[in-house]
Amino acid sequence: MTGLKKTIIRTGLETLYFSGAHVMMRPFVSGLGAILTLHHVRPARPDRFQPNRLLEVTPDFLESVLRYLRRAGFALVSLDEMHQRLIEEDFRQRFVCITIDDGYRDTLQCAYPILKREQVPFAVFIPTSFPDRLGELWWLALEAVVARNEHISILVNGEEQSLECRTLADKVHAYDQLYGWIRSFATEDELRNVVRDLSARYQVDIAAFCDDLCMNWEELTELAADPLVTIGAHTVNHVMLAKVSEQVARSEMAMSRAVIEASLGVRPDHLSYPVGDKTSAGPREFRIAAALGFKTAVTTRPGVLFASHRDHLTALPRISLNGEHQQLRYVRVLLSGAATAVWNGFQQVDAA
Ligand SMILES: [Zn+2]
């Protein structure tokens, strides 16, 4: 995320918090509850260059969020329980679901002990190529290329371009440039090809990230045995589904469910769209997920849940616990619905 964007988000959250506006707006915009998104939960690292830091929070922060949620009277429920409450219109108590994407090993090592001790149900969304050790965590490969080199050359539209990566500021700029460029591609294939090419040029072993960072099937079996844990599907190859053909999108969703069922003996009823923003999941994906029989599917479109989401169960918004903003007051503002209401133009459901 660019520095400017971070500042705008932070300033907006601070303004809503310190002006008290989020308290005044809460009765109108807070909805029924929310689904929280986490990725890594692990101790803070000292590295100065951490372009993916938004994807990780510390165990201490997770603990303080859980304590706050209990204090504030939220019911902490599973996705099945949330689904039931939505379809039965049981809105007596505001609720929060905890979801953790990608199946990193720190989910088992750092998040699980806390959630277990607090008896909090949670869902883990697994891209099956990660435990199969065939996954490409391309955003980490990109980070490694920029971190380990002082200079990068890359082919853009057939022309050799070069990027300086000497200082921290150079690296932040180079990463933002590269990330923005590859996210603008129309297809997932183009993105993967550029990252594979860069990784080969600069000797970054993409496959190694799976082994280093992601749970294997044994570890997932251990986690899945706990009734607190819901295992959800997150496609096979962690693809941005809107950037592949309809046939591939459908098979990515269906295959990941079949592989999880075969490996863990549980058939996932819930799906998380990889990346999950508007460029990676839209009406076509919402329709396919519903047709495949998923009870719910979650995006990363920001928002809290309203009664009207009952009719859009495969297009649910979530609220990300962003590692760049690890302050309880931001969580309070986000769960008040005030920030997301402003970002969404006060529209409750965004399924278009
Ligand atoms: Zn993911």
pLDDT (tens, 9 = 90+) of the chain, 352 residues, equals 566 667 767 777 777 777 776 766 666 667 889 999 999 999 998 888 999 888 899 999 999 999 999 999 999 999 999 999 999 988 889 999 999 999 999 999 999 999 999 999 999 999 999 999 999 999 999 999 999 999 999 888 788 889 999 999 999 999 999 999 999 999 999 999 999 999 999 999 999 999 999 999 999 999 999 999 999 999 999 999 999 999 999 999 999 999 999 999 999 999 999 999 999 999 999 999 999 999 999 999 999 999 999 999 999 999 998 877 788 888 888 888 877 777 777 778 888 8
d(CA 352, CA 349): 9
The reported pLDDT for the residue numbered 28 is: 62
Q: Note whether 236 and 86 are within 8 A (CB).
A: no
Q: Measured in whole angstroms, how far is the alpha carbon of residue 26 from the centre of its chain?
A: 25
100 Cβ contact list (under 8 Å, min separation 6)? 37, 38, 39, 41, 107, 111, 122, 123, 124, 125
Q: Name the phi and psi angles at 255, rounded to 5.
A: -65, -40
Token pair of 184 as six digits: 């603008």
Ligand 1 center to 314 CA (angstroms): 16
Please report the beta strands in 142-269, taking only residues with DSSP state E, as ranges in sequence order.
151-156, 159-164, 229-233
Q: Which amino acid is at 49?
A: F
Query: Per this entry, what is the length of the chain?
Result: 352
How many angstroms separate the alpha carbon of residue 125 from the centre of ligand 1?
Answer: 8
Whole-angstrom Cα distance, residue 209 to residue 213? 6
DSSP-derived pairing of the beta strands 296-302 and 270-272: parallel
Q: How far is the CA of 213 from the centre of ligand 1 (A)?
A: 13
* Gap from CA of 237 to ligand 1 centroid (Å): 10
CA of 19 to the centre of ligand 1 (A): 34
Q: Structure pTM?
A: 0.92
Residue 263 Cα to ligand 1 middle (Å)? 20
Return the closest-CA partner of residue 303 out of 68, 30, 7, 69.
Answer: 30
